[in-house]
Amino acid sequence: MKATAKANTNIALIKYWGKRDEELFLPMNSSLSITLDSFYTITNVEFSRNLNKDIFMLNNHQASESESNKVFRFLDKIRKLAGTHLHAVVTSENKVPTAAGFASSASGFAALAAAAAKALNLELDERELSILARQGSGSACRSIYGGYVEWQRGERADGKDSYAKQLLSERDWNISILSCLVASGQKQVSSREGMKRTALTSPFYSGWLNTVEKDLERAKEAIRLRDFESLGKIVEANALKMHATMLGAEPPILYWQSGTMEVMHHIQNLRLSGISAYFTIDAGPNVKVLCLPEDEQRVYESLLTLPSVQNVIICHPGAGVSYL
């Protein structure tokens, strides 16, 4: 009744922003990501008759109440699926620098879904696992797979056609993703709250919905052709467009810090000097820079010269879920 799974986190190239169903985590739009090799979560789940409640340990400490409640609500969904009432001890180790403000919910819920399903002998295939992980955190459904991954929004109300699938494996196209830390500490508005408020109140949200599927098609075509320039342009513009929708929310949401701006301008200047590099930013202040492996060292060193950059971690496309 126990199992351990490892999942890598992922960075969205075309963002998931807004839900049409809060309970089932059904997105308004399809999205696309790269699973990363350097940031991951390892989770052990053990169900037992000797427990009268669930326990969630994160990095050797009892997790906070809000973190624990998300995990316990997710366990409820798995228990329902498996037809059991057993409680569990969940022990997670996050190799995502959480203090660094990088997202860990994608790797966290992908690893939890995989370990819990295995512990209960659910024998889910990858698609079913993706559907399950989605109901812990939307972006987690993409971390089931390695490499370049698309999450199709689906049309059904029950969510059975809203899952991720692999476009290219991590071995098919190597690019560099440089994770730049410009601010640590908890952000004010979670992505869950941020996307909800934006979808409900921003006049720019309809512009997002009207154009994001086209961005996705263009990004998929660029990936198919291994056309880094075209991909970079679409990715950078899509991230800025998502942030523009937030600026129109009521009250407005601004995740950027001055360091965020510094990195963005730096990357645009690098391009003027002939280096092909592009940025993307999730619901937070830190920036991910995409470049080709042959430029990786130069881009890395140039980022470290910026006063606001505290740390840069080099990542590449990584693998999907595995069992330990």
Q: Does 216 bind ligand PMV (CB under 6 A)?
A: no
* Nearest partner of 244 among 211, 202, 209, 278, judged by Cα: 202
User: Which segment (8-16, 46-54, 120-128, 156-164) binds ligand PMV by CB under 6 A?
Assistant: 8-16
The single residue among 15, 118, 153, 243 that binds ligand PMV, judged by CB under 6 A, is 15
Residue whose C-alpha is closest to residue 228's, from 282, 167, 175, 183: 175
Q: Is 283 in the site for ligand PMV (CB under 6 A)?
A: yes
Q: Token pair of 307, please?
A: 């006063």
Binding ligand PMV (rule: CB under 6 A), the pick from 2, 19, 95, 192 is 192
How far is Cα 165 from Cα 140, in angstroms, rounded to an integer?
A: 12
The backbone torsions φ and ψ at residue 267, rounded to the nearest 5 degrees and listed phi first, read: -65, -40
Q: Helix, strand or coil for residue 262?
A: helix
User: Does 100 sit near ligand PMV (CB under 6 A)?
Assistant: no
In order of 134, 151, 181, 263, the CA distances from 163 in angstroms are: 8, 5, 30, 33
Instruction: Build a one-symbol-per-residue string for 193-212: x at contacts with ligand PMV by CB under 6 A, - elsewhere.
Output: --------------------
- Of 16, 56, 228, 278, the residue at the interface with ligand PMV (CB under 6 A) is 16
How far is the C-alpha of 29 from the C-alpha of 65, rounded, in Å? Answer: 31
The residue among 281 and 303 lying less far from ligand PMV, judged by its C-beta, is 281
Closest separation in Å from C-beta 26 to ligand PMV:
12
- Do 125 and 132 form a contact (C-beta atoms < 8 A)? no
Draw the binding track, 121-140, toward ligand PMV (x: CB under 6 A; -: no contact): ----------------xxx-
Closest C-alpha to 147, from 167, 125, 123, 118: 167
Binder among 9, 29, 31, 41 for ligand PMV (CB under 6 A)? 31
**Which residues bind to ligand PMV, rule: CB under 6 A?**
12, 15-16, 31, 103, 105-106, 137-139, 191-192, 282-283
